[in-house]
Chain A
Amino acid sequence: MKISTFGYSMKQGVKNIGRNKMFSIASVATMSACIFLFGLFYAIVINFNYIVEKAEEGVAITVFFEEDATDTQKTQIGEELAKADGVLDVNYVSAEEAWDNFQGNYFGESADLAEGFKNDNPLGNSDNYEVYMADVSKQADVVEFAESLNGVRKIRKSDVVAKTLTSVNRLVGYVSVAIVAILLAVSIFLISNTVTMGITVRREEIAIMKYIGAKDGFVRAPFVFEGLLIGIIGAVIPLVLLYFMYEKAIQYVMTKFSLLNNIIDFLPVASVYRTLLPVGIALGVGIGFVGSFFTIRKHLRV
């Protein structure tokens, strides 16, 4: 295609939007509604994932040593654990730190009650590694691995929390894939329908082009540009809307349910948009392209 023809096709694509205002508005509205729903759902899912991930990071396995374990053995155990699959971080807690933590948790403000243990650490043999998981579904494997290491006496872990988080995560994954697939199918169907309506209105114009000797590409190009433009506009509108709504919604939740402040941490809008923006635009462009390109194809055989 010549550059001048390319320019002409682009210009016609823009003009087509103006010529068929109602059709264009209907297409943009359909696309906006679909991408808005997609964005809304994506924001919810990604935040839920983030919350679950945070919760996972808090889940730790505690690895205690044999009484006669040497410092070298302990260092080696730490290194082996850090290398294990699914482990995020390994933190050494000395016997003194373990006792300090225990005092803080158990005696609280009445620290004087612990005076009797002043020179005798009752947790003297309780130095340990806190192993934090990047992926709780691998916890059982890590526990098995830790048990096989020389110098390990005991392991404390929470199977229930790990299992719950794993299954919640899996459920969220399945649901999000299913909903995104449904939304995609619905939007392609709706866009294809609206494009068909637009093409039906212009069937005569397409027929005239073909009689005059227009190549398929020449007939198709303005429609595809039109579809792409509608796709971009249909994506930008809901993305801008969601951007402002997201911040307002988080502010609202945090002020209305201040109790959640300590438990839940929402993702900042920039983090959500790092993925949502390109995906949303790509979705708009993709649906616009697929909708117009394939719908016009069947009208070209004149």
Chain B
Amino acid sequence: MIELKEVTKEYSKGIAALNGINLKIAQGEFVFIVGDSGSGKSTLIRLIMKELDPTSGTIVVNGQNLNRMKHRKIPMYRRGIGVVFQDFRLLKDRNIYENIAFAQRVTETSSRIIKKKVPAALSLVGLAQKYKAYPKELSGGEQQRVAIARAIVNEPAILLADEPTGNLDPTNSWEIMKLLEEANDRGTTVLVVTHNQEIVNEMKKRVVTMKKGVIVSDEKKGGYNNEN
């Protein structure tokens, strides 16, 4: 599903954010990417999103070699990936319904289907009643749930979450992780970048630990290891 071979990314010459990474993630897996700030976690996500190109190495996602992907093909590729950010990135001037519908309009889905799918996605994240609210009227946890609804409404094969609980309290953090786990149960491959030790240790999922641009450990049912 996701395969990185000898991937190096240098932002400026000689300084590598990622250094010869090799990583394979199978379909339906739930993977935590952990590590200190500057370890290269977010760069990894941005490379998979095709927001950045690697300096060297190969990235293959869903059978598509990203190195050879043309600019005009990127939108279609991204439609197969749902993405959740730490700062939610909702459109502040649109209500919750419009925020989620927006993800469908982008893919030129018909209005008839949008009217069915948006309430369904909102129900999945438990916000069906608040569809008229604007982002500023919601708590941080609720906003992140909207972001998840937006990420899953197109039923993507992969869900990338970059510090999804970074701005949330423990209760809300657990709710968000529960939603991501539910998406994984439905068959979506989930990749979560996080600093949250408690969650990583409790959930007993695959944990890839990064340090200074390299993978220092990759455990099947791992935990957050500070010693690395």
Please give the residue numbers on chain A whose beta carbons come within 8 Å of chain B beta carbons, in ascending order. 1-2, 4-5, 8, 19, 204-205, 207-216, 218, 301-302
Contacts and interface: CB of A to CB of B under 8 A. Distances in A.
Contact of A212 (B71, B106, B111): B106
B15 interface: no
Contacts of B166: none
Q: Which of the four size classes fits the interface of chain B?
A: 20 to 34
A216 B108 CA distance: 13
A41 to B, nearest CB: 40
B131 interface: no
Contact of B49 (A209, A211, A214, A218): A211
Which secondary structure dominates chain A's binding surface? helix
B78 A211 contact: yes
Contact of B107 (A1, A213, A216): A213
Of A214, A216, A301, which is in contact with the most chain B CB atoms at under 10 Å from its CB? A214
B91 interface: yes
Interface string B85-108: 000010101000000001101111
B81 to A, nearest CB: 8
Interface of B: 49, 51, 71-72, 75-79, 81, 83, 89, 91, 93, 102-103, 105-108, 110-111, 150, 154
A1 B105 CA distance: 12
Given A212-B78, A213-B106, A216-B72, 5 more contacts: A210-B78, A211-B89, A213-B78, A213-B154, A215-B75
A31 to B, nearest CB: 24
Given A208-B91, A302-B51, A5 B78 contact: no
A19 B93 contact: yes
Given A8-B105, A213-B76, A208 B93 contact: no
A205 B93 CA distance: 10
